[in-house]
Structure formats: structure tokens, C-alpha cells
Amino acid sequence: MSRLQEVADQLGEVFDGYFSELNELRMAVETGLARGGEIDPLVFGFVAPRLMDPTSTVVGAGFIGGPGSAAGESIHFAWWLGPLENNPLLGTTTEVTKLDLAAREYADYLRDFTTMEWYSVPESTGDRHITGPYVDHLCTCDYMLTLTSPVGSPAVGVVGLDILVRQIEPGILRLLRSLQGAAALLSSTGRIIASTSENWELGAGLRDHGGIPVPGTSLMVATIPN
């Protein structure tokens, strides 16, 4: 096995860990919906300990339900954020806080959330998905990856995790630096998530590259030989 394949496999294991957690949340939400129970306390009980963990790279998590996922609601937004420090929008927080759409100016932005990639792709494919990297202008004002999985079949919503790119970047770079030449982790659309080259900036599109897929994801490890 080549070193490139080894790195891709190791990165796949990293993201598989996140998706394993997401799968646990998905199963809990599906069970709760089937029983007709209160979803918010269930989701909060799952995500709060993880968001309060100082070693966690997850900064937001929860369930977003579409029409019909909860009685009498066209949208059910059960999403929490972990503690934040000097956040330009939310200031500094020390506890887990719920994202309150009604009190936020971006409520209109999410009105047609079903067309957004983090929702529409897992809903239509029935499979897990990674959105980003993108600048999260709603909460963190920083580069984010959003991992989502569909809830139900057909999907009535998604569960998701928000991960700050700068928090996972050091671990990714350690693996990429073990490769010969410049290397980068790319999104499904060819955007740079992390790179060993000063010429490859986070979020930029990379063309004319070779590489291999990261197992279990839509990502790719790209290299340009010296």
C-alpha cells in the first residue's frame, strides 16, 4: 500500500469517528420521533456533553427537521452551540446555548433551508454528507465543515455536526506532511480544507491535481510532486 493511500485511509478513520457519533444521534432522534416524544430534550441530552468537552472539535450539533417532522411545525430547529470565546456575533459564552432562530436576523436565510447543501444532499441521496469548507456567517464567522446524515427513510430531516477547520487542521497537516511534495485535503468540489503549500489557501479551489478519495467521504487527498 502506498503512503498516499495510508494517509487517505487514516483521514477516512478520522471522519468516520464523527459520523459514528452522528449515527448515534440519528438513531436516537428516529426513535424519539417514532414514539412521539419531545425531541429537544433528547437532542440536548446527547449533544451537550460533547459540546462541553474541552477536547472536542465539534462546536455545534443537533437536529433540523423539515415539514412534518414535528406536529404543527414547518421547521424544527433543535441546534446547540458549545462555549464560545470572543465570538463576533454571540460574544463569549461558557455554557451550551440553543440557536434561537426567532431572535436572530438570519431567520429568513433559513426559511428555505431545504435547498441548502447540508440538508438537500443527504435528504435526496439518503447518505451522509460533508459540506464545506465555508465561512459560517451565522454563528462562528470562521471556516467550517458541516457533517450531516438523513433522519428517516424517506428523510424528514437531518442530524448534523459543525466542526471548525482550524481545530482539526493540525491533525490533518501532520498526515499530509508525511507525503512527498505538496499535499492538500480537498472537498468534493475541489476546495482546500488543509494544505502543506503556502500557495494553496484554505477555501480556494485547486485545479490540475492528482489524488485519491478519502474512504467513506466525498473528500480527496491531492498531491503535486516536487
The per-residue pLDDT for 76 is 85
3-state secondary structure labels for all residues of 212-225? EECCCCCCEEEEEC
The per-residue pLDDT for 45 is 96
129 vs 150: CA distance, rounded Å:
9
The per-residue pLDDT for 133 is 96
Name the region of 73 (left: φ>0; alpha: ψ -120 to 50; beta: rest): beta
* 48, containing H or E segment: helix 39-52
Task: Please name the residue that has the C-alpha cell 439518503.
Answer: 126
132 vs 210: CA distance, rounded Å:
20
In this prediction the pTM is 0.90
87 vs 74: CA distance, rounded Å:
30
Q: Take residue 147 and report the three cell numbers written for it.
A: 457533517
The per-residue pLDDT for 225 is 62
The whole-number mean pLDDT for each consecutive block of 10 residues of the chain, a chain of 226 residues, reads 92 97 96 90 95 93 81 76 69 76 55 82 95 83 93 93 95 95 92 93 84 94 78
The per-residue pLDDT for 104 is 52
96 vs 93: CA distance, rounded Å:
8
State residue 112 phi and psi, 5-degree precision: -110, 50
83 vs 81: CA distance, rounded Å:
7
The per-residue pLDDT for 120 is 92
Dihedral sign, Cα of residue 107, residue 111, residue 117, residue 122 = positive
The per-residue pLDDT for 226 is 58
Give the HSE-up count for residue 113: Cα atoms under 13 Å, Cβ half-sphere. 22
